[in-house]
Amino acid sequence: MTAVRPPTIIDVARRAGVSKSAVSRAFTGGSVSEDTRERVLKAASELRYRPSHSARSLKTNRSRLIGLAVTHLDNQFYPEVIEKFSGRLACDGCRVVLFVTRGEAGLEPMIDELLGFGLDGVILASSSHAAEVAAECTRAAMPVIMFNNVDTSGRLPGVCTDNELGAAIVADHLIGLGHSSIAIIEGVPDSSTSRERVTAFRERMLKAGLPDPVLRSGDYSSQGAAQATRELLMAEAPPTAIFCANDHMALAAIETCHELGKAPGRDVSIAGFDDVGIAAWPSFSLTTYKQPVAAMVDACVEGLFAEIAGERMIGETLRLPGELVVRSSTGKN
């Protein structure tokens, strides 16, 4: 059995009795007579012909492949983001090539990978090392955009939620409920999202004349948040409310409350950030600040396409407002 090699544009041209160019035009939307187009399409489908992706990419310098770098798929926020990007990009005929960064390790080599797969552009939704990756991408003239994360060093475009606004609104909500002893569980310290949310929340409290909140690191992980929650709630004077820098940690905090026999929303209020799917489940009913993921993804894709086209739509970072979602994990003090 000889390996049947796939039909090329030449096979189609021959069978349709036209030139390669005619076939190419028929497939790329060039101008061809209706008659030619039909014959080409017929021949192509008989031959089961599909244009070779690599040949086309080589010529056009476009692969319609977009890299998406993410971390922590166990944080439900990312699967949601991935799904949205995949759907959105598919509308433009593009596909997502996934780069899952495993914690701290393996990021260096990933840069080479990111640059070596002939991608048209890259979306950095990974929370750490963004700066390094970004710098390398710019040097390689690879269009990049940050998602849910801002480039503090350079001036890369990016899209994220207005974290400061969101955190302030959550703070107001908690304060309005009568809480004055509020703790914060932050994420990875050097991630922009965590920094912005924490800072804004804190400022709001100080502005309200409340004491500086206790700060614990949850490192954006379940275990970290659980540990922080334990320490917080078992202290001598435990806080009456805890603001977690994301839902992933807030969910863990709620789990920990149960473990300690404290009822979320009654004994202690827990608030998060993201509005991940699970947050709405009755078991958690988490009060949180909803990130406008769909709008963010749209803006991000448009921004990236602009970069690819050589323009620049987004100045530095586009910050979209979200929406407070009040559920029963927060209650009056």
Partner DNA sequence: GTGAAAGCGCTAACAG
Partner DNA sequence: CTGTTAGCGCTTTCAC
Interface positions with DNA (CB under 7 A):
5-6, 8-10, 17-25, 27-28, 30-33, 35-36, 49-52, 55-56, 58-60
Binding flag, residue 278, its own copies (CB under 8 A): yes
Closer of 33 and 153 to DNA (Cβ): 33
Binding flag, residue 64, its own copies (CB under 8 A): yes
Closer of 58 and 208 to DNA (Cβ): 58
Minimum distance from CB of 283 to its own copies (Å)? Answer: 5
β-pairing, 241-244 vs 269-271, is parallel
Minimum distance from CB of 117 to DNA (Å)? Answer: 13
Candidates 29-37, 72-80, 201-209, 296-304: pick the segment binding its own copies (CB under 8 A).
Answer: 72-80
Closer of 57 and 180 to its own copies (Cβ): 57
State how far the Cα of 270 lies from the Cα of 4, in Å rounded to an integer.
62
Closer of 61 and 236 to DNA (Cβ): 61
Minimum distance from CB of 288 to its own copies (Å)? Answer: 17
Binding flag, residue 47, its own copies (CB under 8 A): no
Work out which of 63, 149, 193, 221 binds its own copies, going by CB under 8 A.
Answer: 63
Binding flag, residue 2, its own copies (CB under 8 A): no
Closer of 30 and 178 to DNA (Cβ): 30
Query: Binding pattern to its own copies, positions 96-115, x when CB under 8 A?
Result: xxxxx-x---------xx-x
Work out which of 34, 139, 209, 236 binds its own copies, going by CB under 8 A.
Answer: 139
Closer of 38 and 117 to its own copies (Cβ): 117
State how far the Cα of 300 lies from the Cα of 196, in Å rounded to an integer.
20
Closer of 58 and 235 to its own copies (Cβ): 58
Work out which of 10, 73, 208, 309 binds its own copies, going by CB under 8 A.
Answer: 73
Binding flag, residue 82, its own copies (CB under 8 A): yes
Minimum distance from CB of 174 to DNA (Å)? Answer: 56
Minimum distance from CB of 73 to its own copies (Å)? Answer: 4
Which 3-state string (H, E, C) describes the chain?
CCCCCCCCHHHHHHHHCCCHHHHHHHHHCCCCCHHHHHHHHHHHHHHCCCCCHHHHHHHHCCCCEEEEEEECCCCCHHHHHHHHHHHHHHHCCCEEEEEEECCCCCCHHHHHHHHHCCCCEEEECCCCCHHHHHHHHHHCCCCEEEECCCCCCCCCCEEEECHHHHHHHHHHHHHHCCCCCEEEEECCCCCHHHHHHHHHHHHHHHHCCCCCCEEEECCCCHHHHHHHHHHHHCCCCCCCEEEECCHHHHHHHHHHHHHCCCCECCCEEEECCECCHHHHCCCCCCEEEECCHHHHHHHHHHHHHHHHCCCCCCCCEEEECCEEECCCCCCCC
* b/e sequence 39-64, b meaning 16+ C-beta within 10 Å: bbbebbeebebeeeeeebeeeeeebe
Closer of 20 and 207 to its own copies (Cβ): 20
Name residues contacting its own copies, limited to 284-313 (CB under 8 A): 284, 310
Work out which of 48, 105, 311, 315 binds its own copies, going by CB under 8 A.
Answer: 48
Minimum distance from CB of 144 to DNA (Å)? Answer: 21
What is each CA distance from 162 to 159, 300, 320, in whole angstroms? 9, 14, 5
